[in-house]
Amino acid sequence: MLYNEPSPLETRILSRRFGLPNSAALDTYLATDGYQAFRKAVGMKPEDIVNEVKISNLRGRGGAGFPTGMKWSFVPRTSPKPKYIVVNADESEPGTCKDRLLIEYDPHQLIEGCLIAGLAVDAHKGWIYIRGEYRYLIEIMDKAIGEAYQKGWLGKNIQGTGVDFDLYTHTGAGAYECGEESALLESLEGKRGVPRIRPPFPAVVGAFQCPTILNNVESICAVPPIILNGGQAFADLGVPKAGGTKLTCLTGHVNKPGVYELRLGFPVMQMINEVGGGMRNGKKLKAFIPGGSSCPLLTAAECEGATMDYDSMAARKSMLGSGGVVVMDEDTCMVKAALRIMRFYAHESCGWCIPCREGTTWLRKVLIRFHEGGGTREDIDLLGDVAKNMLGRTFCPLGDAAALPTISIVEKFREEFEDHLNGRPCPFEHAREAVLV
Amino acid sequence: MTFSAELETRFEKLLKSYPAGRERAAMIPMLMYAQDEIGSITDELVEEVARRVGVTSLQVHEVVSYYSMLHRKPMGKYHVQICTNISCLLWDADKLWEQATKKLGIGHKEVTADGQISLEEVECVGACSWAPAIQVNYDFHHFVTPEKLDQLLDSLGKKQ
Ligand SMILES: Cc1cc2nc3c(=O)[nH]c(=O)nc-3n(C[C@H](O)[C@H](O)[C@H](O)COP(=O)(O)O)c2cc1C
Ligand code: SF4
Ligand code: FES
């Protein structure tokens, strides 16, 4: 059973097996072109595999949007050290719930993607780092890995090709920061999730001090279709400079929230009105988050003409992010939204660097005060000031991720902060005192 | 410390899942799987895991204090985790949270007197498109309504 009805407007490439009976089973996978891309890749030169991924214009689906083929080309293939593949299935960016489906419904596609990545950089071992809350996915993934070993799709001399590859799952234990690539590697090594200084980047010094390809689940799952049908076919699905589709998690005030696979460049308003079935209760759109709570918010006016791709969002000073779309209607209190978002970052800050640790804590405190009716006019500017002073001054991007949405909310919805002061406190509902510390 | 045969098999496999000399990498998975079996991260468990992966107890404690799913105290038999992050909040998750605290008479990370149910307000659990979402131990509940929550808590209160 799928969690939500598919939409006829989808372009189902990565999700094409979702909903098939026993879609996670090896037999189903093999019956639907499974492992054909691996067979093809075995006959290709490693640099041609990397090149095909470059041609596909695949950009990292974990949030930062870095070109995947380029990232792979940074791995020193001929280094005497072992090379590793690490898949980021930490999926904790608020609004995002798509990697979960890729593992639940099609774990072999992810295994095949790892095998091909291994061929590209001469890696023979990999780990899938799965957030601790997704325990059932670890069982599904372990089962698929077990089946692959049993039928000779993992292990030594895979299908007589002479290729060796070992793959393991690794559980997280509850920490958003461990989705950040270098913190993830620390966590994988059995440490606190405090990020590493870069350079060197993981491609050169990654897991266990060895060159590592580290990609999001969706990026790796895109690799089999790219190799099978050619990079150009994938590129053609999207827009110039950004190929393919994006699993988009529609959340918030729409009639049909759900995860939908849409071409890059899909119009925002069509996504809300047609894929999402329009605004809930016929309300008006007020604010829009394109890809997880770390992105600056757009106003309804800014959504007009916007499309779901990197350039369109960058032109609106936001980001495509992780695919976690959050739709807010006219009844949403933006002070409350800002507070809830900041509580998250304050809770998840790893505490390593002061601008982030103190910045998120103070922003949270000021927002609580504000929402409880004890704010002052200076506080509005203070919020913007503190947030702007965090930008670019933190050890990892979590600081920016906390500051950016706050700055955009204060700038774009300033009148709601003023309403809170002018004896018209929250026109909506009062937030209770924050519980999480 | 003795664990179930299944857990011992899992530990054995884990210790072989990382490059030689990097057994420390098995620490967090071992703690997670052991916590599921014995209920919390006890001092005894910390020492045992430290011994097995070849680090000091202090190095394990340091890790335990970082991760929010590793609990030093036992939670209820059914640990009810209510997400109130943004996508769930837009579907009134904060009201669900209040409903649960009132009904059970306990707050964040507290356990009912009979040890049956505990509550935790959690950050996004990756179910945002099917909000509001709750996790009971590792089971997801999607599109939770006040009525569904009421029934859920009633049934967990009686469940063996
Ligand atoms: C605070 C923080 C949290 C992140 N969380 C995730 C995550 O949960 N999943 C993910 O794939 N990437 C996450 N990222 C991005 C990763 O650092 C990294 O860029 C990504 O996994 C690389 O894969 P990609 O190029 O395929 O996107 C996060 C980054 C930051 C700064
Ligand atoms: S920015 Fe925040 S999460 Fe990143 S290192 Fe600094 S304190 Fe840690
Ligand atoms: S915001 Fe609640 S599950 Fe993501």
Interface contacts (A, B; CB < 8 Å) = 154
Alpha helices in A349-397 (DSSP H): 354-371, 377-390
* Pair of tokens at residue A95: 């609004």
What value does the CA radius of gyration of chain A take, rounded to a whole number of Å? 22
* Pair of tokens at residue B127: 């179910």
Domains in chain A: how many in total? 3
CA A226, A232, A237, A239 torsion-angle sign:
positive
Q: Does residue B152 register a pLDDT over 80?
A: yes
d(CA A143, CA A107): 9
Taking CB atoms and an 8 Å cutoff, what residues of chain B touch A82?
19
Look at residue B28 and tell me if it is in a domain. Answer: yes
Q: Within its chain, how far is the Cα of A281 from the centroid?
A: 29
CATH of the domain at A280: 3.10.20.600
Which pLDDT score, from 0 to 100, does residue A430 have?
Answer: 47
Write down which residue in A237, A266, A293 finishes a domain: A237
What type of residue sits at position B54? G
Helix axes A398-412, A377-390, angle to 10 degrees: 150
Which pLDDT score, from 0 to 100, does residue A373 have?
Answer: 82
Q: What is the ipTM of this complex?
A: 0.98
Expressed as residue numbers, the domain containing A425 is 334-436
Summarize pLDDT for A51-89 with one digit per residue, the tens.
Answer: 999 999 999 999 999 999 999 999 999 999 999 999 999
Which pLDDT score, from 0 to 100, does residue A435 have?
Answer: 39
Look at residue A19 and tell me if it is in a domain. Answer: no
Look at residue B61 and tell me if it is in a domain. Answer: yes
Summarize pLDDT for B33-89 with one digit per residue, the tens.
Answer: 999 999 999 999 999 999 999 999 999 999 999 999 999 999 999 999 999 999 999
- A57 lies in the same domain as A91: yes
Expressed as residue numbers, the domain containing B21 is 5-66
d(CA B35, CA B72): 9
Strand ranges in chain B using DSSP code E only, listed in sequence order: 78-83, 117-122, 134-136, 139-141
Give me ligand 1 centre to Cα A64, in Å: 7
Q: Does residue A96 register a pLDDT over 80?
A: yes
8 A C-beta contact, residue A60 and residue A66: yes
The ligand that comes nearest to the alpha carbon of residue B97 is: 3
In this prediction the pTM is 0.97
pLDDT band with cut points at 50, 70 and 90 for residue A428: low
Tell me what percent of the residues of chain B surpass a pLDDT of 90: 99
Which pLDDT score, from 0 to 100, does residue A105 have?
Answer: 98
Which pLDDT score, from 0 to 100, does residue A427 have?
Answer: 56
pLDDT band with cut points at 50, 70 and 90 for residue A285: very high
- B42 lies in the same domain as B88: no
- A205 lies in the same domain as A340: no
What type of residue sits at position A210? C
When CB atoms are compared, the residue of A94, A99, A173 closest to B70 is A173
pLDDT band with cut points at 50, 70 and 90 for residue B130: very high
When CB atoms are compared, the residue of A97, A347, A431 closest to B129 is A97
8 A C-beta contact, residue B19 and residue A184: no
Test the A interface: residue of B23, B27, B28 with most A CBs within 10 Å: B28
Q: Within its chain, how far is the Cα of A299 from the centroid?
A: 22
Domains in chain B: how many in total? 2
Residue A338's nearest CA partner among A290, A380, A302 is: A380
Look at residue B73 and tell me if it is in a domain. Answer: no
Summarize pLDDT for A162-217 with one digit per residue, the tens.
Answer: 999 999 999 999 999 999 999 999 999 999 999 999 999 999 999 999 999 999 99
Cα distances (angstroms) measured from residue B99 to each of A349, B78, B95: 29, 17, 6
Taking CB atoms and an 8 Å cutoff, what residues of chain B touch A324?
87, 128
Look at residue B53 and tell me if it is in a domain. Answer: yes
* Pair of tokens at residue B88: 């769930």
Look at residue B72 and tell me if it is in a domain. Answer: no
8 A C-beta contact, residue A213 and residue A203: yes
Taking CB atoms and an 8 Å cutoff, what residues of chain B touch A340?
84-86, 89
- Eight-class DSSP state of A271: I
